[in-house]
């Protein structure tokens, strides 16, 4: 929740100040030349990677997976987000 609150504060204080947009990759790249947008993006990634990591742990427990089958996906999720989620799906052996 700390990340969510910080994200909302940064967004509300600096929304609309940066040039760029989400319509194309060049527009997104231009957005991230602004330090406040970059901070917001970083907080966004951290919050969602941690949320997905928590979901992975819960799903592993709910499905009765051994901790060692879930563990490799957690650092990959934290560092590379979607790749860690994909690894978890593959490690649990149920397919997509």
List pLDDT tens digits, range 17-31.
999 999 999 999 999
Q: What is the structure's pLDDT at 73? A: 97
Q: What is the pLDDT of residues 40-84, one digit of tens each?
A: 999 999 999 999 999 999 999 999 999 999 999 999 999 999 999
Q: How confident is the model at residue 96 (pLDDT cuts 50, 70, 90)?
A: low
Which pLDDT score, from 0 to 100, does residue 94 have? 73
Q: What is the pTM of this model?
A: 0.80
Residue-level pLDDT at 93: 82
DSSP for 46-93, please give it. HHHHHHHHHHHHHHHHHTT--HHHHTTHHHHHHHHTHHHHHHHHHHHT
Question: CB burial class (10 A; 0-12, 13-18, 19+) of residue 26?
Answer: exposed
69: domain range? Answer: 2-92
Number of domains in the chain: 1
């Amino acid at each position: 929740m700390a990340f969510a609150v910080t994200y909302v504060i940064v967004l509300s204080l600096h929304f609309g100040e940066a040039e760029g947009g989400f319509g194309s990759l060049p527009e997104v790249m231009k957005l991230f030349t602004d330090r406040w947008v970059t901070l917001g993006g970083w907080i966004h990634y951290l919050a969602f990677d941690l949320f997905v990591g928590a979901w992975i742990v819960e799903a592993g427990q709910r499905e009765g997976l051994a901790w060692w089958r879930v563990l490799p996906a957690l650092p990959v999720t934290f560092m590379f987000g979607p790749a860690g989620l994909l690894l978890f799906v593959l490690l649990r052996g149920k397919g997509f």
